[in-house]
Amino acid sequence: MAWKAISAISLLSLVVLLALPTASASSASLSDLLSTVSSFDDPRMGAKDLAFYLASHGFDATPKGSYVVVDLGSDVYKLTPNGAAPGLASIAG
């Protein structure tokens, strides 16, 4: 009897843990993206570095040549690294 209860609790815990990363990744918004790219400057950051940085912060980011495509679920944005300008990138809808 105790084994069934432990198995049920373990299975329920596993389901909850698997659902959490999906829920947190889908909650990214444009304001989160703006905050992330304006947090600091790096004039040497290229598109691949920017995509890696955004992906490590929970965004669905893909480098495409000289820019990065970020999919926020309902909207897709094009980010171009800023170089010497303030912030990491400029954002276009």
The mean pLDDT value for 76-91 works out to 91
* Residue 47 pLDDT > 60: yes
Sign of CA dihedral 76, 31, 66, 62: negative
pTM of the model: 0.68
- Measured from the Cβ of residue 62, the count of other Cβ atoms closer than 10 Å reads 14
Strand partners, 1: none
Express each pLDDT in 57-71 by its tens digit: 999 999 999 999 999
Q: Where are the alpha helices (DSSP H) in 26-93?
A: 30-37, 47-56
Q: What is the pLDDT of residue 51?
A: 95
Query: What's the CA gap between 16 and 45, in Å, rounded?
Result: 37
